[in-house]
Amino acid sequence: MRTKTKMMTVIFMGSTPATHADTISGYSDNEISAILLGLLMGMVVFILLLLSLWLYRLVTRLRSETRERDPDFQNWCEQQLTGLDQAEIDHLIARHDIRQKKTGGKSKFILLMIVIITTTKAHAQITPADAGLMKSPGMIIMLTLILIPLLLALWLTGIKISRIIARAQYRRIKKDISDLTNTAFADPEFYRKLIERKAALDFRLADSELRGREPVADTRGMLHNVSEVHSPRFLSSKRKALLPHELPPGTVKLILWYLASATVWLIIGTSIGEYLGIKFVSPDADHISWLSFGRLRPVHTNMVFWGWSSLAMIGLGYYVVPKVGNSHIFNLRIAYWSLIAINTAIICGTVSLMAGINNGGGEYREYTWPVMSLFTAGILLSLYNYFQTIGSRSTKEIYISNWYIVSAMMFIAIIAIVGYVPWWQNGLGETIVQGYYMHQAVGMWFMLFNLGLIYYFLPQQLNTPIYSYSLGILAFWAQILFYTLIGTHHFLFSSIPWWLQTIAIVGSVGMLIPVFAGTTNFLMTMRGNFNKIGRSYTLPFYLVGILFYFTGSTQGTAEAFRETNLVWHFTDFTTAHSHLTMYGIIAFLLWASIYTLVPRLTGKEPAQHWVGAHFWLALLGLLFYTIPLMIGGTLRGMAWQTGRPFIESVTLMAPYWLWRAIGGTLMWLSHLIFCWNMYSMTLRKTESEIRRKVLDAIDDSINITTAI
């Protein structure tokens, strides 16, 4: 131990300013990586161009669908006659004496088309301008990441146009048919030809030999809630959740308590976040000490961290951990104590932060040690519970979900201890520990635990095994190896030893391995099942979570390079990044899991349009929140480099802060909807429940009368 410390000292002493300069020049000359990344970006741009071509083709098709037809009507009718099949001719003849009204209206589509074309054009213009902007690898990665959602947007536009084409086609054919019907009525010559043609086509067998004569009956109870809709559906109907699981009612209740607490913290925590966002636009919203920005900011972050995300994770863990080991929760009482400890910690922490008592200002480390001890105690209780549950499993192997989940629980305990024990916290020691603490809490707790949940819920929801178990194992060990190193990348160019900063950057690049492995694994698991997404209300959440897992994590790598850090560090770009990850990845994956699990626990489903509203508001809100902050943050960092007065960089941010508040409002609304959905999945009485109650009441009255 002693020798090791000495060795570190030597390394530390070696880091003089001279070596700094060398390291930097070696770094910025890294042309090869720039070229490779340039190629990557070129590829994305190429795909963008391909997509644009596809869009162009679609638009031309749309135009041909809506074009006026041949002016020579007689000739046109003759042509149509040979194209019609038997059934169609039958139809025409049957309608012979019925007049049809003509329908019109194309202007709406043309207008929509113009809107779509102009927006796609606008998209296409942005790309080449950006391409030549910066050569540094991080910037290129960043731009590529921004382009990926753009690709998605183009693709979605394409699908929309295809649908419009389908509708236009339908209208055209409808008009043709109605014209033909009219002609058949008005022109006896044409009618005669029609009859002739029908006689020619009619020559065939009767086709009734194979027809069954028995009435249809569902003897196995395969059909549920058959509903007939006689008006056009505004929303397509999604697949219902499977039948409820047979879990002990105690377990169900426990999990629901965890999820309900999490939901409460989500609502309060994001309401505070929303208010903080408003304060950037209106700093004089209030002059109350308990509601001032500096005090509320840590209340928001800690509440959504330790309250919402952590409790939701642990609650879901109480389902997954026994499930994948085919056993039962070791001890329900311990689980409740854990819940109580964590909830109490959040309440105490919130009140003390608002009263102006905090630990000294390190991010996510604002709760004082008594509060955090209570939280850690809660974690340790649940950890013990999980561990014993796994010990009593009836499978031989430990499913990979449990690796991730239990490791996350162990690691957060270590992280809290390292972050709060005073022996190595004086002077810069505090900052080194802070870098470690704040980043491990994010990556080794939230991310690791969520990966564990997804390794269970995603295959379960898709009804298919995980693509590669070994890829999951690789990602697991690689995540521990690289993630542990990257904490100090929050303090690049600070007085922390230069070698430690370099290690953090290397670790950040290494993180690409587990991220790529994880993303590949999830996407390959989804492969062949993408058609299920449109029919499910949970899978879109998974897809968005996985997409942001890739883009958000890679963005973290991009931010860690020294050259990009120059621009983005200390700006709102970091805020955008943390929301992209904590919200885009963690919250979306948690919602995915909750919407998967809760209906199966309670047998009650949320209204699918409310789930849809939650999804779209959260996603759009997140984009409105993050993209302006990324743009504003970049501009701000650049403004600082020009040496202009600082206040100019504050006024520069004003519009971006406004957009952030707008995006934040959408996100916040989506949480209210989520809260309502939670209510309808749990407490709200469904019709079948009431029906059962009525039946029970009737039974009772029968029993009473028979007893009398």
Partner 1 sequence: MEIYSNHKKLFILALGFFGTLTLFVAILPAMNNQQSVNILPGAKPLTPLQIEGKAVFIGEGCVACHTQQVRNLEMDKVWGNRPSIAADYAVINRTDIWRNTATLMGSERTGPDLTSIGSRQPSTDWHLLHLYNPRSVVKESVMPSYEWLFLNKEYPFPEETLVNVPEEFKSGSGKIVASHRALALVAYLQSLQQVKLPDGRPVPVFLYGKQASNASLLTGAKLSEKSQFDGEALYSSNCSSCHQPNGEGLVGAFPPLKGSKIVLNPDPNVQITIIMKGYNGRESEGYSAMPAVGTNNNLKPEEVAAIINHERSSWGNDSKQVSVEEVKKVISALK
Restricted to residues 269-298, the positions that interact with partner 1 (CB under 8 A) are: 279-280, 283-284, 287-289, 292-295, 297-298
Length of the chain: 708
Selected from 257, 330, 403, 561, the binder of partner 1 by CB under 8 A is 403
Does position 351 bind partner 1 by CB under 8 A? Answer: no
Q: Are 456 and 323 in contact (CB under 8 A)?
A: yes
d(CA 88, CA 82): 11
Identify which of 585, 581, 556, 571 has the alpha carbon closest to the alpha carbon of residue 630: 571
- 404/542 with CB nearer partner 1: 404
Selected from 2, 427, 463, 707, the binder of partner 1 by CB under 8 A is 427
Whole-number minimum distance, CB 669 to partner 1, in Å?
A: 24
CA 447 to chain centre: 14
- 352/602 with CB nearer partner 1: 352
Q: Which of residues 482-511 bind partner 1 (CB under 8 A)?
A: 484-485, 487-488, 490-497, 500, 503
d(CA 272, CA 236): 35
Site string for partner 1, 75-114 (x = CB under 8 A): ----------------------------------------
Q: What is the dihedral of CA 550, 490, 619, 638, to 10 degrees?
A: -100
Whole-number minimum distance, CB 140 to partner 1, in Å?
A: 14
Selected from 407, 521, 626, 670, the binder of partner 1 by CB under 8 A is 407
Whole-number minimum distance, CB 636 to partner 1, in Å?
A: 9
Does position 560 bind partner 1 by CB under 8 A? Answer: no
d(CA 88, CA 180): 11
Does position 129 bind partner 1 by CB under 8 A? Answer: no
Structure tokens belonging to residue 327: 């056993």
Structure tokens belonging to residue 48: 């963008």
Q: Which of residues 363-382 bind partner 1 (CB under 8 A)?
A: 363, 365-366, 368-370
Selected from 142, 252, 444, 681, the binder of partner 1 by CB under 8 A is 444
Selected from 162, 344, 575, 608, the binder of partner 1 by CB under 8 A is 575
d(CA 686, CA 604): 7
Write out the DSSP string of 627-655.
HHHHHHHHHHHHHHHHT--HHHHHHHHHH
Q: Which of residues 512-551 bind partner 1 (CB under 8 A)?
A: none
Does position 466 bind partner 1 by CB under 8 A? Answer: no
Whole-number minimum distance, CB 581 to partner 1, in Å?
A: 15
CA 514 to chain centre: 19
Tell me which stretch binds partner 1 (CB under 8 A): 178-186, 340-348, 649-657, 663-671. 649-657
Does position 478 bind partner 1 by CB under 8 A? Answer: no
Burial class (CB in 10 A: 0-12, 13-18, 19+), 499: middle
- 183/564 with CB nearer partner 1: 564
d(CA 176, CA 630): 52
Whole-number minimum distance, CB 445 to partner 1, in Å?
A: 12
Q: Give the list of residues 6+ apart from residue 536 with CB closer than 8 angstroms, or none.
A: 238, 239, 461
- 181/571 with CB nearer partner 1: 571
Selected from 315, 362, 378, 621, the binder of partner 1 by CB under 8 A is 362
Whole-number minimum distance, CB 36 to partner 1, in Å?
A: 22
Identify which of 451, 468, 449, 438 has the alpha carbon closest to the alpha carbon of residue 550: 451
Does position 667 bind partner 1 by CB under 8 A? Answer: no
d(CA 619, CA 544): 8
- 281/620 with CB nearer partner 1: 281
The size of the interface with partner 1 (CB under 8 A), counted in residues, is 115
Whole-number minimum distance, CB 358 to partner 1, in Å?
A: 7
Q: Are 614 and 540 in contact (CB under 8 A)?
A: no
Does position 418 bind partner 1 by CB under 8 A? Answer: yes
Rounded alpha-carbon distances, angstroms, from residue 475 to 452, 513, 612? 11, 7, 32
Whole-number minimum distance, CB 329 to partner 1, in Å?
A: 16
